[in-house]
Amino acid sequence: MSKPGSETSKISRRKFLGTGITVAGMSVAPGVSLINVAEARPLDQPVSSKQRWGILVDANKCSKGCTSCVDACFTENGLNRGDEQHSRPGQKAQWIRKIDLRDKATGHEVSLPLFCQHCEHPPCTDVCPTGASFKRKDGLVLVDKHICIGCRYCMMACPYKARSFIHEELTHQFEYAPRGKGTVEGCTLCVHRVDQGRNPACVDACNAAGHKAMYFGDLKDSNSEVSKQLKMHSSKAIRADLELNPGIRYRGI
Amino acid sequence: MKYLRMMLVLLTVVLLGNTIVLADVPKPVIPKGNAEECVLPKEEMRVDHMNYILHQRDETMHRGIRTKKFSLKGCIDCHTVKDDAGKIVSYKDKKHFCNSCHTYAAVNIDCFECHASTPTAKGTISSTGGKK
């Protein structure tokens, strides 16, 4: 049922779009890719699985006693603004914590930040009864607090103790980091910053403190700094035996 | 018969009384936003604002779409109301833009249990582009 004359343009729409993208890609100077960390996605474009955000933590560079990343997380997301007056320290929200490990046999000590590992197969989303725990297409594991019922199954399922439950009414939230009573929350990898093409607050803080122990970027982009670093030296996933394929990887543990 | 008439009079009084009370409920005073116009004609926003916000909520949360037109943040930034001391009021205050109508309509909203009901002060935090 093809119209006369349509033979001349047999190229499909998909092919055409593909060509267009290639041409656009080639118009950029050699060695410079179109998609990189510094370039923010347009506001009206949805996230895609062409990217996967991740962090490489170099525990060799991480300083024992330094809490820059933890402090930055609290400040950025409004976790330390005077809310949660009645909660015990163990109950209060904490998205990132410093862990010190000591090898009993050798006495070797290592310090590292532990937070949501943004797994490829997150157990928290498996157990969530409402679909509030979900993985965004670009690999960020988030809580949709609009549909979270506060059952805390995800907290039980997470092997990294990465999530917190809010027991009290909050009043000091930042507009870009909504948080509230009766919902579970955890590291968002600073999704509001990532969507602007910026680093998570912990990574920036670590760089500012001079340790430069955290590399953030797109794991699927072979030209990103994090991918290059991962390729260069060996790294580990914590609890790799669970085969969750976390987006956060560690070196020197 | 006398009893019935008394009842009728009583009923009339009660009904009239009700009418008077209803008339006494003040119409909401809806504060104007800071911009010239809303993102859509106000008649449309009055009827459908909740649907636009709900749709935008899911688009932003799950797909990372952060257009400003129907974002709650946009509403909050524009529709600020100041108290006598010149401070921007939060949702706890009856004068708050959302409150002004929702109190009248007796509609409870949960938005501000999690979301900020006032704009975050510029320059206090790194994300607004100001100093940390």
Q: Is A96 left (phi over 0), alpha (psi -120 to 50) or beta?
A: beta
Strands A141-143 and A133-135: antiparallel
Domain ranges of chain A: 53-251
CA–CA gap between residue A87 and residue A171 (Å, rounded) = 15
Enter the ipTM. Answer: 0.79
Confidence (pTM):
0.79
| Residue in B88, B127, B128, B132 to test binding to A, most A beta-carbons within 10 Å | B127
* CATH number given to A53-251: 3.30.70.20
CB < 8 Å to B113, chain A: 169-170, 180-181
Q: Out of A144, A174, A193, whose CB is closest to B120?
A: A174
Chain A residue nearest residue B60, CA to CA: A46
- A209 lies within 8 A of chain B by CB: no
CA–CA gap between residue A194 and residue A48 (Å, rounded) = 13
Question: With contact defined as beta carbons under 8 Å apart, do A118 and A140 qualify?
Answer: yes
CA–CA gap between residue B127 and residue A72 (Å, rounded) = 12
CB < 8 Å to B63, chain A: 46-47, 136-137
Chain B residue nearest residue A205, CA to CA: B132
Determine, for residues A183 and B114 on separate chains, whether the beta-carbon distance falls below 8 Å: yes
**pLDDT tens, residue by residue, B56-108:** 999 999 999 999 999 999 999 999 999 999 999 999 999 999 999 999 999 99
CA–CA gap between residue A157 and residue A128 (Å, rounded) = 9
Higher local confidence (pLDDT), A6 or A248: A248
**Between A201-208 and A68-77, two packed helices, what is the crossing angle to 10 degrees?**
140
- A75 lies within 8 A of chain B by CB: yes
pLDDT at A24: 42
Nearest CA distance, A20 vs chain B (angstrom)? 24
Question: With contact defined as beta carbons under 8 Å apart, do B31 and B97 qualify?
Answer: yes
**pLDDT tens, residue by residue, B116-126:** 999 976 544 44
Q: What is the mean pLDDT of residues A152-158?
A: 97
Q: Out of A46, A76, A173, whose CB is closest to B126?
A: A76
**pLDDT tens, residue by residue, A96-144:** 999 999 999 999 999 999 999 999 999 999 999 999 999 999 999 999 9
